[in-house]
């Protein structure tokens, strides 16, 4: 099927209605999907209900929501199957259960039945092409968001800048050119690459909380501060929960070149409130699954050397 066919399908999505108001969820999810392709985040025809997808959904949704619209990305993720290009893939042995579903079973239940969504092969090929993406994006905006065009285009322009920088720093070890890139763009891109590399899990305590609105408990911390070396290489980053981020920034804890955590001797284990932090001493750093994101030795060494020690040793 051609680009024109999918342009037509995108223009005729079966959207929910309340009086004259069309629910924006499906076209918003497709705008978010286009940006995931833009970021280079989708390499094969498998789309999951991932934190990065939810985050993009949230950005567009906030720009266009009105009336009683609720940020519920799970609904379009399920119901888009009615539009005939969006297919849930059954987990082994779940084929009959999947095809018998008449309504959404809840996100956890769906996950047990289906592991991902795949698109028509032709559509997947088109979405890998920047010109086709641009065409489909304007179809969605013209058809569903003509009245909010400026807001949607503003989100798309910002996302495109972030996606550019994201691709630069994500290309294994190449130092990105940060000069001239606005801080907000840099920060967001760096955070996304690092959080994703660590699967949204704190490298110290393992805490992992992701909410449907695209919110999560971890930050992306620079190991050598950006102000020192202007290094946004993800190997100069680490995902940490708010507490451990705070403690590392103040040099109370440091990840070492020996791949375990070290704790300052300034903390006192006789103080009940400080014990949890002290217990981190010697614990293994929870590293990303992909070795290409593991922290560089130089960055870990910087942290070790800056750990606060009694007497300044
Ligand atoms: Zn933590």
Q: How far is the CA of 12 from the centre of ligand 1 (A)?
A: 46
Report pLDDT for 145. Answer: 97
Q: How far is the CA of 219 from the centre of ligand 1 (A)?
A: 10
Both 159 and 257 in one domain: the answer is no
Q: How far is the CA of 206 from the centre of ligand 1 (A)?
A: 6
Q: Please answer whether residues 23 and 2 qualify as being in contact, where contact means their C-beta atoms are separated by less than 8 angstroms.
A: no
Q: Is 16 exposed, middle or buried (0-12, 13-18, 19+ CB in 10 A)?
A: middle
Both 162 and 231 in one domain: the answer is no
Domain that holds residue 285: 199-312
Mean pLDDT of the region 102-118: 91
Both 27 and 142 in one domain: the answer is yes
In a domain, 43, yes or no: yes
| 310 — pLDDT class (breaks 50, 70, 90) | low
In a domain, 302, yes or no: yes
Both 81 and 151 in one domain: the answer is yes
Strand segments, DSSP code E, in 160-275 are 210-211, 215-216, 218-222, 237-241, 253-255, 261-263
Q: Can you tell me the distance from the alpha carbon of 309 to that of 313, in angstroms, rounded to the nearest whole number? A: 6
In a domain, 190, yes or no: no
| Percent of all residues in the chain with a pLDDT value above 70, rounded to a whole number | 96
In a domain, 174, yes or no: no
In the predicted structure, residue 247 carries a pLDDT above the cut 50: yes
Q: How far is the CA of 201 from the centre of ligand 1 (A)?
A: 8
Q: Can you tell me the distance from the alpha carbon of 195 to that of 208, in angstroms, rounded to the nearest whole number? A: 11
Report pLDDT for 260. Answer: 97
In the predicted structure, residue 104 carries a pLDDT above the cut 50: yes
Report pLDDT for 175. Answer: 60
Q: How many CB atoms lie within 10 A of CB 272?
A: 7
In the predicted structure, residue 181 carries a pLDDT above the cut 90: no
In the predicted structure, residue 214 carries a pLDDT above the cut 80: no
Q: How far is the CA of 92 from the centre of ligand 1 (A)?
A: 35
Both 17 and 82 in one domain: the answer is yes
In a domain, 177, yes or no: no
Q: Can you tell me the distance from the alpha carbon of 121 to that of 127, in angstroms, rounded to the nearest whole number? A: 10
In a domain, 183, yes or no: no
In total, how many domains does the chain have? 2
Report pLDDT for 270. Answer: 77
Least confident range from 44-53, 261-270, 279-288: namely 261-270
Q: How far is the CA of 115 from the centre of ligand 1 (A)?
A: 28
In the predicted structure, residue 65 carries a pLDDT above the cut 80: yes
Mean pLDDT of the region 179-183: 84
Q: Name which of 164, 138, 163 is nearest 152 in CA terms.
A: 138
Both 110 and 12 in one domain: the answer is yes
Q: How far is the CA of 286 from the centre of ligand 1 (A)?
A: 10
Question: For residues 274 and 174, which has the higher predicted lDDT (pLDDT)?
Answer: 274
Q: How far is the CA of 237 from the centre of ligand 1 (A)?
A: 15
In a domain, 147, yes or no: yes
Both 29 and 152 in one domain: the answer is yes
Q: Please answer whether residues 292 and 281 qualify as being in contact, where contact means their C-beta atoms are separated by less than 8 angstroms.
A: no
Report pLDDT for 67. Answer: 86
Whole-prediction pTM value? 0.86
Q: How far is the CA of 55 from the centre of ligand 1 (A)?
A: 21
Q: How far is the CA of 199 from the centre of ligand 1 (A)?
A: 13
b/e map 150-189, b = 16+ CB within 10 Å: eebeebbeebebbbebbbbbbeeeeebebeebeeebbbbb
Both 8 and 131 in one domain: the answer is yes
Both 118 and 205 in one domain: the answer is no
Which residue among 166, 189, 223 closes a domain?
166
Both 14 and 162 in one domain: the answer is yes
Q: Token digits for 289?
A: 């699954």
In the predicted structure, residue 127 carries a pLDDT above the cut 50: yes
Which residue among 125, 146, 166 closes a domain?
166
Report pLDDT for 116. Answer: 96
Q: How far is the CA of 7 from the centre of ligand 1 (A)?
A: 45
Name beta bridge partners: 254.
Answer: 262
Mean pLDDT of the region 257-265: 95
Which residue among 166, 188, 208 closes a domain?
166
Both 126 and 238 in one domain: the answer is no
Report pLDDT for 171. Answer: 78
In a domain, 171, yes or no: no
Q: Token digits for 17?
A: 């209605």
Both 121 and 265 in one domain: the answer is no
């Amino acid at each position: 099927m051609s680009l024109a066919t999918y342009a037509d399908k995108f223009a005729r999505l079966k959207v929910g209605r309340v009086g004259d108001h069309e629910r924006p969820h499906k076209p918003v999810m497709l705008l978010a999907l286009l940006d995931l392709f833009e970021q280079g985040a989708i390499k094969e025809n498998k789309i999951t209900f991932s934190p990065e997808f939810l985050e993009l959904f949230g950005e567009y949704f906030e720009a266009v929501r009105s009336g009683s619209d609720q940020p519920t990305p799970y609904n379009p993720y399920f119901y888009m199957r009615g539009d005939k290009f969006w297919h849930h893939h059954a987990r082994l042995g779940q084929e009959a259960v999947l095809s018998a579903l008449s309504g959404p079973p809840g996100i956890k239940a769906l996950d047990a039945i289906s592991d991902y969504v795949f698109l028509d092969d032709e559509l997947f090929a088109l979405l890998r092409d920047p010109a086709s993406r641009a065409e489909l994006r304007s179809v969605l905006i013209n058809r569903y968001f003509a009245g909010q065009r400026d807001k949607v285009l503003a989100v798309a322009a910002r996302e495109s800048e972030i996606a550019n920088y994201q691709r630069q720093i994500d290309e294994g070890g190449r130092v990105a050119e940060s000069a001239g890139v606005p801080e907000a763009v840099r920060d967001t891109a760096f955070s996304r690459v690092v959080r994703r590399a660590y699967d949204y899990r704190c490298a110290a305590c393992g805490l992992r909380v992701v909410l449907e609105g695209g919110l999560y408990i971890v930050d992306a911390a620079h190991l050598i501060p950006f102000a020192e070396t202007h290094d946004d290489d993800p190997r100069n980053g680490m995902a940490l929960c708010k507490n451990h981020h705070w403690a590392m920034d103040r040099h109370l804890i440091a990840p070492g070149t020996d791949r375990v955590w070290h704790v300052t001797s300034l903390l006192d284990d006789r103080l009940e409130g400080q014990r949890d932090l002290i217990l981190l001493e010697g614990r293994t750093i929870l590293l990303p699954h992909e070795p290409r994101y593991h922290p560089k030795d130089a960055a870990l060494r910087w942290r070790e050397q800056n750990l606060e020690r009694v007497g300044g040793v």
